[in-house]
Structure 1
């Protein structure tokens, strides 16, 4: 089995969302999008600036890479450190990777002060994330199981007890199906399946990749 030390779980945005909050008559519109490269993030930010061309500010932040290797943020004319940095800190605090957020502000006529701006921009990002669909991604193994009909019940029961999926089932002279498990649990599952079927089941790891954790 390959070394999975570097394949740690991470959170990402599956589907972006938009949310709006109001603070002392200023409107803060947060738009979140999944972006997997700096180019995608920059393009998204420019898209939002064109969409909200008449806004007072379009502040932004993004995190690229499953370990957050690349981060950027912009105050877009707000006092230094009052917008982009608080926005980025929310993304990092939530463990979100491969995502960008733009918070558009329409000034309401009342100054918020530096503390008020920090709170408002941070709150807007949190609202934007709540309006988005996020998930934990885990590195896992896809295992193909071949078995006689006499053992399929034991296998299905074992997978069901552990909450593992049962996919791509084929019923011919024998039964074949696939399951996906977190990589650290691969060896244990193979051992348990082998014991449960008296080593009659054919077990093969056909792929390893990141999958959406349904918990």
Structure 2
């Protein structure tokens, strides 16, 4: 029986990818580098810090990682605050509310920064449903390193790993769940690009096709 669900955020709760893409590529232009679609997609599931560490390795970009991260974050925040059509993933709010009402503990385990998570959760009123927020910025390594999910699972009130379930949309996130030894739903949306879901225990293509009872009853 599933007692705790650990949600990734970007691509699972809200699709902030277009905003991230805009911020990253505008910053890449400022830095004078051209990042291919293949390389950009390989960063999916990574924290911003780890992404820029990789950018420095690949392109010889100068400057401190913390300063690069700050510039990208400012570009993201400016765009986020003015993007009127940003919304939650279809079907995810009823799923979150249903799980909460059924007594399932909800935790976020996201590679996003705390400030980005706060912006999303404040804008869409999600804080009341979640007991803990675990951000990738608190760890030296991003997914597929399992630390973020192991930490999230350790915070659960009444369950151990076998009673936890992760919902992820990226290859790196699914690999992190596998490495943590926690079951994972791969959310394979129409926006999923260059992601491998073979490591997922279950695959869901539309949250509107499942509900809390479906998740609680997963074996």
TM-score, length-normalised on structure 2? 0.26
Q: Which has the higher strand share?
A: 1
Which structure shows the bigger proportion of residues in helix conformation?
Answer: 2
* Structure whose alpha-carbon radius of gyration is higher: 1
